Amino acid sequence: MADWKTAPDDAVRRLLTGLRAVSWPIPQSEADALLARLGWQETQRRASGVFADAGLGISPMEAAMMFTQYADEPRILMLEVDVTDEVLGDSPAEIAFRQDEFVRVVRLATEELGPPTERRQTAVPEVRWRDGRSSLAVVRSGIAVQVRMQDHAQQVIDDEADARALEAQA
């Protein structure tokens, strides 16, 4: 079995607490201040966002801050952090690693944030904690376990688009 990286429990707890304190919506002009507040070190900037080292020991680009344009105001669309290595294969060991880490991070999030408000059993399972302003999710993508956070209104828009896409496939 490979030595895949995972963020330690205490680092995941700090990440969750730090993200939960973020107040949405966030103008893009506050990106540098948010990076500093979260303790992230910028490693790459593009027009579409910033990649950063969040101090989890996964990679120098383990965190992403994505930008979007709302009317005339550029905003931060989403924060996304890998809490495991990206494991690309589908061997039993690789699948078990992603699933076990997903369960571990959901448990930590539940301990820190309380019971989740939603569990989505889709091709990309996720467990969410929503409040009136934001949506924080633990996601098991096909290659990694991630913590994602975004404005609640944007999450609703994304969910509606996902629902329409599923209806179109039916």
Which uninterrupted H or E stretch holds 10?
Answer: helix 9-20
The whole-chain average pLDDT of the chain stands at: 92
pTM: 0.91
Instruction: Report the number of distinct structural domains present in the chain.
Output: 1
75 belongs to a structural domain: yes
3 belongs to a structural domain: no
CA distances 54 to 41, 115, 126, 143, 151, Å, are: 7, 25, 21, 19, 20
* Contact assessment for residue 129 and residue 3, using Cβ atoms and an 8 Å cutoff: no
Q: Looking at residue 86, what is its pLDDT?
A: 94
Q: Looking at residue 39, what is its pLDDT?
A: 96
1 belongs to a structural domain: no
The C-alpha torsion from 98 through 52 and 118 to 157, rounded to 10°, is -120
Neighbours of 151 (CB within 10 A): 21
152 belongs to a structural domain: yes
71 belongs to a structural domain: yes
* Contact assessment for residue 78 and residue 61, using Cβ atoms and an 8 Å cutoff: no
42 belongs to a structural domain: yes
Range(s) of the domain holding residue 129 = 9-169
19 belongs to a structural domain: yes
Q: Looking at residue 2, what is its pLDDT?
A: 73
Regions in the chain scoring below 50 on pLDDT: none
21 belongs to a structural domain: yes
Q: What is the Cα–Cα distance from 74 to 87, expressed in whole angstroms?
A: 33
Q: Looking at residue 32, what is its pLDDT?
A: 97
